[in-house]
Structure 1
Amino acid sequence: MHVQKIGFIGLGIMGKPMASRLIQSDYPVFLYSRSGVPDELIAGGGHGCCSAVEVAEKADIVILMLPDTADVEKVLFADNGVAVGLTATQSTESSIRKIVVDMSSISPSDTCHFASCIAELGHDYADAPVSGGQIGAQQGTLTIMVGAAQAVFEKIYPILTRMGQHITHIGKPGSGQVCKMANQIVVTGTLTAVAEALVFGSKAGICVKNIRQALMGGFAASRILDVHGERMINRNFEPGFRIDLQVKDLDIALTCAAELGVSLPNTALTQSLYQACIAQGDQLLDNSAIVRILEKISNHEITTQTHAEV
């Protein structure tokens, strides 16, 4: 049986553990990052490449995990990009039809354009953005939202299962990115609500640990309250998903909404709060650090102490 060779481009907070899981699953993995391939991935069995062209030439399936739309476009279509490698392969081995899988979170409309360009080269394209953050990437528990033709989805599904647990075929190329923006609308709205609740309870003199514990037993319970509520209480803002990337996603969501004529008032307000986080220098912190701007507005930092203990 032919073992699919995988290319992985983008080895940051998310990409590095995702690529590592593929290497551990005994796939041949060809790696490239503009900042260099981490030594531990090479030591684990990965194959370092000097360019995106080389990755595209050697791999059957090329995965991208990059920060923004412009980064994806550059890696795909620059002079040393993936498209050049695909074209070189097509000219020498016309029977090979490769697949580009973009797991970044980028513009849905640009994704459709990229997919069309790759199709013109005789290859397939899927967008498969993820949710679950760094922990999900490390544990292989990511939620993956796939936009692809059905046949392409079936080909990449076994590989996606090595990185995620909840994998859904949303529809045609571009639809995965629409679903990811819907995810971000819910996530950021909930993050803001959790932060507001904790600041409110703390300023009233109640132990926020007790508040979180109580809320986890009712309809307010959520993954956000569980994981990010704990981060806020413990002041752990090491980035699982950075604030600047969260703002990027909200910008995309609001741009798409404007194109569709859809009003997203809560999302617009949340975006303004995250912009304020960036203004106070928190752009590289975890997105749960939105609590810091609400604390500043309220002139109160959340505490586990009660009025009786103060």
Structure 2
Amino acid sequence: MLDTDIRLEWFVSFLAVIDTGSFVAAAESTRRSQPRVSQHVAALEREIGQPLFDRKKRPVRLTEAGAALAVQARNVLQALEEAESAMAPWRGGALGMVALGSYPSVSAAFVPDLLRDLADSEPDIRVVLSERATLELDDALISGDVDLYLRPMLPRPVSESVTCLPLWREPLVVVHAEDHPLDLVPDPVPLHEVAVHPIVSIGRLDAPETSEFETYQVFRDQGLVIEPVQATNQPQTLVSLVARGIGVGVTNWLAAKTADTTGVRVRTLAGAPERGVAVCWDSTRPLNPAARIVLKEISERAVPEGTIRIPNKSAARKHVPLPR
């Protein structure tokens, strides 16, 4: 029989094993040791008097008792989060804090005006900016390090719980050094003319998900295969590598716009390939009132110059109305 002395952290560890498929992965996602996670699940099993997992299966599988408890455990934790959210407006005169994730080009082209306007209109909200690479932002959301984050719509988030609201689309551009052979190619520059040169791309060379970025997809769509000589998530680094003759850069418009492009040319690509950008959150975690205000502001404000707003009826990973 479960009593009121049961610890919420047991539920957290228990649900983490379900969501990740193993005790080891659950330990990583909750930032606990694997023995600690095992102890929490064992404590729950003692209280229930039944095994919650069939440990002979790989990945581990829930027993019938475990499946029944999982539903209630999620309800308990969600109720606790909703209670916390309801109390936020009364905490120390401040509406709340929001951890906002972003990646470099959007941090430079969109976030500063957003933060300035929020400081004027919502002085009781404190926004903490967390700037990371796109793939790192996905992990930050799932781990709870950020409440909301801005990211390219490709590659798609791995977790099904991530909900994305499309914001804008922007052109992909080619960046090459002055006096480069591409100078002789008229605008817009065909992709096959770019593909014959060493490529500097966005992302990380050692991350398999990098190949899912739009810069790779547009080449694949035309039957072209590229093997970048270097990749970076920093716009200025990409431009500097191009200026030093490392290769030809293919990146998004905002990345080129926010960098010092001295010594290089930024040019349009034939076929007008684009990148989509969205704001995302975890649909399994209630947003506190402050985060909902920030999300609404992001969704309604003007998009950066040189980009095109995506109508809200368009869908990304999963599109639902803004949380209330």
Q: Structure 2-normalised TM-score? A: 0.29
Structure that is richer in strand per residue: 2
Whose helix proportion is higher, 1 or 2? 1
Give the TM-score taking structure 1 as reference length: 0.30
**RCO higher in 1 or 2 (8 Å CA, sep ≥ 6)?**
2
